[in-house]
Amino acid sequence: MHISFDNTYARLPDTFFAPIEPTPVSSPVMIRLNRDLATELGIDAAQLDSPEGLAVLSGNQRPDGSEPLAMAYSGHQFGGFSPQLGDGRAILLGEVIGKDGIRYDIQLKGSGPTPFSRRGDGRSALGPVLREFIVSEAMAALGVPTTRALAAVASGDKVFREGAVPGGVFTRVAQSHIRIGTFQWFAARQDHDNLKVLADYVIARHYPEAQQEENPYCALLDKVIEQQAGLVAHWMQLGFIHGVMNTDNMTVSGETIDFGPCAFMDVYHPAKRFSSIDREGRYAFSNQGPIALWNLTRFAETLLPLLNDDLEKAVAEAEAALDRFSGIHQSSLQNRFAAKIGIEECSTSDWNLVETLLAAMADGEADFTLVFRHLSDALESGDDQTVTRLFNRPETIATWLKAWRGRLHDVDRSEALALMRRSNPVFIPRNHRIEEAIKAGNEGDFAPFHRLNEVLQHPFTSQPEHAEYELAPAPDEVVQATFCGT
């Protein structure tokens, strides 16, 4: 099995990671291989699809050039700091340069214990493997920066969660797995030398343009803030709730990571949350912007020793950078939501229009994705019935529709429609469909999993033969809670 590894993380000082071999599994079976992604990574998809490839993707065989390791990191989980997290069930095989010239990590998840496993078994249940495959690939197809799914493998072993369940190994691809928590690892240990090594590494790998700035570390902070502010707005445009925005689950590259308890909303509500452990709604839909800023504040704190030798000046620099978050996030959010109703640049009155619609949706218990999709249809056909039917109280939306049509009066209709069509997906990975795929998968039937993945590869394209995947859940199909994917 040939993969052209070029491992830079393994060259970093040994406090950054622990070398560790994956632990073999008993009888691996390939469930799904992302051949397109393999090709983009310059890996021969046919080879990866062979028994040898399967041995690599299940952790049973170390490919040439791989220097497997578990990365060290800390993190704030639900606001409380854990100095010692790290890859407890993930092992970085190595890095490759993709055809796009970008360096990518290839990581196994569920491949056995590491020195960071604490009391965990280092394994993954098959359910979360399938979930991450579906959602991360759907996010990529939706255009959201995200880690990717290269492969899902059934291990043939049982793992013990709430009872015995089938195990799996997931292969994750990311521009890097460096998190805010990675910076916190060194900050918590007051290891300023290695903090600088890490910051320089991140700048070289993700933000090389920062090297030209007067203060590259200020530039790094600015870039990460900008990426995260935009990323969270992008999530929200699609009704996505990450669900576990701990600082160890926020990459510095700006890619979405960790699909444990995430969910796309069906019915819109700003306070919507799914994660069974997020009792106070810390990571609820409309709290995601403020929480991203909270996390970025923790990031800025780690950088203080690098920002300036004078602590007071460093704090001032950090505060100035953090103050820019809200402006970037809000304008991105406003433009993304305005686009959903066919408006290119969001003025104050346009934002009022959006907010009135969202309030009517929350009040009328309307399905987030269907409302915007049917608004496009309404603009095209002039018929408001399908959209109106989505609201419990149709009169609230009638007034809004009139105001909206008035706003679009002078706008080129085909342009508005094109903007709406590319801002409003037809298909999202609905929770009940994910659960359906997982349930069948746990019983050995992967057909629903494959079908769902295929539909979601073209989320903005109407696929009449798969129209049932557009539908909101029936009352008895509604998923009320999600659980962390351990």
For strands 75-77 and 80-82, give the pairing.
Answer: antiparallel
Looking at the Cβ atoms of 182 and 335, the one nearer to Mg ion is 182
Only one of the segments 166-174, 250-258, 374-382, 429-437 lies at the binding site for Mg ion (rule: CB under 5 A); that segment is: 250-258
The whole-angstrom separation of Cα 108 and Cα 442 is: 20
Contacts with Mg ion in 381-420 (CB under 5 A)?
Answer: none
92 lines the binding site for ligand AMP (CB under 6 A) = no
**Region of residue 143 (left: phi > 0; alpha: psi -120 to 50; beta: else):** left
Nearer to Mg ion, 255 or 258 (CB): 258
User: Which one of Mg ion, ligand AMP, none is in contact with 223 (Cβ closer than 5 to 8 A by kind)?
Assistant: none
Q: Choose between 132 and 258: whose C-beta lies nearer to Mg ion.
A: 258
Among the listed residues 85, 138, 262, 354, the single contact to ligand AMP using CB under 6 A: 85
Residue 431's contacts (CB-CB under 8 Å, 6 or more residues apart) are 263, 264, 266, 274, 473, 478, 479, 482
User: Which does residue 15 touch among ligand AMP, Mg ion, none (CB within 5 to 8 A, set by kind)?
Assistant: none
Size of the site for ligand AMP (CB under 6 A): 17
**∠ Cα 164 166 167 (to 5°):** 110
**In this chain, which of 105, 137, 255, 258 binds ligand AMP, going by CB under 6 A?**
258
Answer yes or no whether residue 486 interacts with ligand AMP by CB under 6 A: yes
Closest to ligand AMP by CB, 249 or 334: 249
Rounded to 10 degrees, the C-alpha dihedral 156/444/442/24 comes to 10
Active site residue 248: yes
Stretch that binds ligand AMP, among 47-55, 87-95, 186-194, 346-354 (CB under 6 A): 87-95
User: Which of 120, 281, 327, 406 is in the footprint of ligand AMP by CB under 6 A?
Assistant: 120
Q: Is 247 or 332 the residue whose CB approaches Mg ion more closely?
A: 247
Residue 52 interacting entry, from ligand AMP, Mg ion, none, C-beta within 5 to 8 Å by type: none
- Closest to ligand AMP by CB, 115 vs 143, is 115
Least Cβ distance, residue 475 to ligand AMP (angstroms): 31
The distance of closest approach from Cβ of residue 119 to ligand AMP in the complex, given in angstroms and rounded to an integer, is: 8
The Cα-based distances of 252 to 177, 205, 257 in angstroms read 8, 11, 10
**89 binding partner (options Mg ion, ligand AMP, none; Cβ < 5 to 8 Å by kind):** ligand AMP
Q: Which of 32, 123, 282, 430 binds ligand AMP (CB under 6 A)?
A: 123
Task: Give min distance, CB of 26 to ligand AMP, in A.
Answer: 18
Sign of CA dihedral 224, 226, 231, 236: positive
What is the C-alpha to C-alpha distance for residues 262 and 271, in angstroms, rounded to an integer? 14
Check residue 122 for interaction with ligand AMP (CB under 6 A).
yes
Residue 123 pairs in a beta bridge with: 111
Alpha carbon distance 81, 180 (integer Å)? 12
User: CB under 8 Å to 266, separation ≥6 — which residues?
Assistant: 367, 368, 369, 430, 431, 472, 473, 478
State the catalytic residue, choosing from 248, 258, 278, 350. 248
**Size (the chain), residues:** 486
Q: How far is the CB of 169 from Mg ion (least distance, A)?
A: 16
Return d(Cα 151, Cα 480) in angstroms, integer. Answer: 28
Nearer to ligand AMP, 85 or 397 (CB): 85
Q: Which stretch binds Mg ion (CB under 5 A): 256-264, 335-343, 354-362, 412-420?
A: 256-264
Residues 15 to 74 in contact with ligand AMP, rule: CB under 6 A? none
The tokens for 255 are 């890619």
Residue 258 binds Mg ion (CB under 5 A): yes
Q: How far apart are CA 90 and CA 22, in angstroms?
A: 9
Q: Which is nearer to Mg ion, 87 or 266 (CB)?
A: 87
CB of 112 to ligand AMP, least distance (A): 9
Q: In angstroms, what is the minimal distance from the CB of 121 to ligand AMP?
A: 5
Give min distance, CB of 292 to Mg ion, in A.
16
**Residues with Cβ within 8 Å of residue 326, at least 6 apart in sequence:** 289, 293
User: Could you say whether residue 257 binds ligand AMP (CB under 6 A)?
Assistant: no
Please give the positions annotated as active site: 248
Q: Note the residues at the interface with ligand AMP (CB under 6 A).
A: 85-89, 116-117, 120-123, 248-249, 258, 260, 484, 486
Q: Note the residues at the interface with Mg ion (CB under 5 A).
A: 249, 258
